[in-house]
Structure 1
Amino acid sequence: MKCLPSSLLILAVFPLVVVAKRRRVPFMNCPSTKSSSGLGMVKQARSRIECSVICLNNPECLSASYCKSSDGYTCQLSQMFLAGGCSGLPANGDCTQTFVVYPCENGGTFFHENRTCHCVDGFIGDYCHRRYRDCQETPLGNVLYTIQPFRSDYTFQWKCGPFTSPYTRVSEYASVFNFNYTLTWEQMKQGITPHPGFYFTGPETLHQLTKQGVYDLFIRMIVLGKNSGYVIYKHFRVDSEAEGYACHWKSFTRYYEVPYNSDEYLDGLGALGDSTKSMKGARFGTFDNDVSECAGTHNFAWWYNPLGCTLVTFDPDGLNWPTNRTGTVEIEKIDHTLIGLRNVYWYVEDDLIL
């Protein structure tokens, strides 16, 4: 579990404020008589803010006093932990004491010995101030977690795992499970909860996930008795509902890993290299919110280009994907398909950095 770095501690010194990276950190004076926490180490400082920052960057400092001296102002660092209060401090009219603000949120426990927050399950971050951004942050596999993408009010519950898979599972199709894929826009929007052999996070979830950073979409395909493989859509993203949940990506590639051989699996979303049928910018469609009647024809909610329906199709037994094993392109039944998102990086970090 990620904890508060030893160099980061919130001190209070009102009414001045310092805007840290993406988090506003107030610095406040002790509200009682001016006092000193006792001399531990003395450094020069030009302001109370600078004194507080000096303490933040000293791993042994737990409180600080900004004091007037004969030759200016000094910053007195102390190992005294005030536990969020100022009572019991020795009076000193020439010093302004700063005190530690309890920093851990959402039930986290603060350990002042090493200045870290220990988070309860379900929360993460230096101050336990946020939920998991995606499944790659969760500590365990096969557990239902509440996911909340960065700077989004959108939350969804998803069973992440297994923990050995470094990605967020988006969907699964298995030929052993007979399922009616004729689903409405509202049914698909928020996703289909896991059923044996089929689940789908939904385009709204994909939009919320991919807008917080750069992700690769990869599809693992297994055909019994034949080579299995991966195909990857680099820097994949999904637009908002107002934009039809249109999908975009930077490039397509195959991933080679023994014993998998992806060379036989083609670019399904790119319509086998036919630029007039590329799914880049294609909008999501369902039978009741169709795109050029593609969803009705292919009997499933998917991304469809108004210039021509993708060659990827679905039937009650699952996904059909284009392959080229013998020099001829064929739409082949895939026995088991896993679709996942792996984040390359997030656009921003919301943990405190001074």
Structure 2
Amino acid sequence: MLLQEHISFIVILVISNSLSNFVRTDKCDSGFGYELVQQRLDSIETRLLEKCSNVIESCLDVAQNASGIYKIKPSLSSKSFPVYCDMSAMAGGWIVVQFRYNGVVNFTKTWQEYRDGFGILGAEYWLGLERLHQMTTNDPYELIVYIKTSSGDYLYAHYSEFRIDSEQEKYKLSKLGSYSGTAGDHLRYHEGKPFSTSNGCAMSFKGGWWYGKCFHSNLNGQYTKNDTFGLIWGIANPPTNYSKMMIRKK
């Protein structure tokens, strides 16, 4: 399951509590910057709690224009959920829906896990098909995909539209719109295809995707530098070790 709170928020609060216990029980209250440490701990906790309590409709509503974890509530969703907002790429406002860069998260998952999401926000994760459906069905969205080549160059593929159908329709990738970019139009083959975690290609390449007879791209495959498997963007291209998929409300 996708973590329901910002992992950094949890870590910092744990550190804050530990440091709070230390400075409050230290016998030298006037030493070691006691007052300053306590003020900073209180300030960090206050800011994080305020940030996590504010609910917005999409990353376009991020007021301070800073990338990070925010809670959103799309118009079709019955409850809010946390997402990572990227405010630096192409004028900002992007919701990161897939991110891979070091292989720490295993993407060989079940249908339920791909539906609900998994991983760690701000690190490697998959946002979840149901959330993608809720966001893109009621409002128009666009998609951008970033990959890194074996030589270290970053390429992108932008699609003017992006829509995912319901679970009853197996979360079909129903619309992509027009393509622009430098990475190649390698998602086009998958337009109109249902998502699968159990067909032959999913089992062979160890990841859920919008497979047809197989794929022209597959960014959820096994994280490896093997020329046959790995994160693929274009079947003639070597696998990449970096991918980021983001959507933005239009």
For the aligned pair, the TM-score class normalised by the smaller chain equals: 0.5 to 0.7
Find the aligned partners of 2:97 and 2:160 in 1 and give their Cα distance. Answer: 15
Structure 1 or 2, whichever has the larger Rg, is 1
Equivalent residues of 2:99, 2:126 under 8 A apart: yes
Contact 2:142/2:249 (<8 A) preserved: yes
Contact 1:231 1:252 in 2 (8 A): no
Paired with 1:206 and 1:194, the residues of 2 have a C-alpha distance of 17
Aligned equivalent of 1:331? 237
Letter matched to residue 319 of structure 1? L
Indicate how the Cα distance of structure 1 residues 166 and 283 shifts in structure 2: closer, same or farther if over 3 A, else same: same
1:144 positional shift: 3.0
1:158 to 69, 78, 83: 83
Q: Is the 8 A contact 1:123 1:132 kept in 2?
A: no
Give the Cα separation in 2 of the matches to 1:228 and 1:151.
34
Q: Greater CA deviation, 154-163 or 202-211?
A: 154-163
Match of 2:116?
Answer: 190
Tell me the equivalent position of 2:185. 267
Match of 2:95 among 162, 168, 177: 168
TM-score (norm 2): 0.67
- The answer to whether residue 119 in structure 2 is matched with residue 221 in structure 1 is no
Q: Which amino acid aligns with 2:61?
A: E
> Of the candidates 54, 72, 96, which is equivalent to residue 147 of structure 1?
72
Q: Is the 8 A contact 2:51 2:70 kept in 1?
A: no
Q: More strand by proportion, 1 or 2?
A: 1
Separation in structure 1 between the aligned mates of residue 153 and residue 88 of structure 2, nearest angstrom: 25
Alignment-derived partner of residue 177 in structure 1: 103
User: Which amino acid is 1:284 matched to?
Assistant: F
* Displacement of 1:197: 5.0
**TM-score scaled to structure 1, two decimals?**
0.49
% identical aligned pairs = 24
SS at match of 1:251: coil
SS, match of residue 229 in structure 1? strand
List per-residue Cα deviations over 1:241-298 (Å, max 9, x = no partner).
111100122434223xxxxxx0xx222222xxxxxxx3222111113xx3xx221122
Separation (CA, whole Å) in 1 of partners of 2:180 and 2:153:
13
SS where residue 168 of structure 2 aligns?
helix
> Do 2:145 and 2:246's aligned partners in 1 also have CA atoms closer than 8 Å?
yes
Cα distance 1:211–1:195, how it changes in 2: closer, same or farther (>3 A)? Answer: closer
Moved more, 204-213 or 330-339: 330-339
The CA deviation at 1:201 is 0.6
> What are the Cα deviations for residues 92-151 of structure 1, in whole angstroms up to 9, with x where unaligned?
xxxxxxxxxxxxxxxxxxxxxxxxxxxx75688xxxxxx311222123434432211014
Q: In 1, are the aligned partners of 2:133 and 2:166 still within 8 Å (CA)?
A: yes
User: Counterpart of 1:279?
Assistant: 190
Secondary structure of the residue aligned to 1:248 is strand
CA contact (8 A) 1:220 1:230 kept: yes
Offset at residue 166 of structure 1 (A): 2.6
Instruction: State the match for 1:299 in structure 2.
Output: 206
Q: RCO (CA 8 Å, sep 6+): is it higher in 1 or 2?
A: 2
Q: CA RMSD in A?
A: 2.5
Q: Give the unaligned 5+ runs of structure 2.
A: 1-49, 225-229
Residues 105 and 125 in structure 2, CA contact (< 8 A), matched pair in contact too: no
Q: Distance in 2 between matches of 1:163 and 1:208?
A: 24
Task: Give secondary structure in 2 for the equivalent of 1:220.
Answer: strand
Corresponding residue for residue 211 of structure 1 = 137
Rounded Cα–Cα distance in structure 1 between residues aligned with 2:134 and 2:249? 13
* SS of the residue 1:330 aligns to: coil
1:187 partner SS: helix
Alpha-carbon contact 1:177-1:196 (below 8 Å) kept: no
Unaligned 5+ segments in structure 1 are 1-119, 125-130, 256-261, 271-277, 323-328, 345-354
Which residue of 2 is the match for residue 249 of structure 1? 175
Summarize the Cα distance change of 1:203–1:195 in structure 2 as closer, same or farther, 3 Å threshold.
same
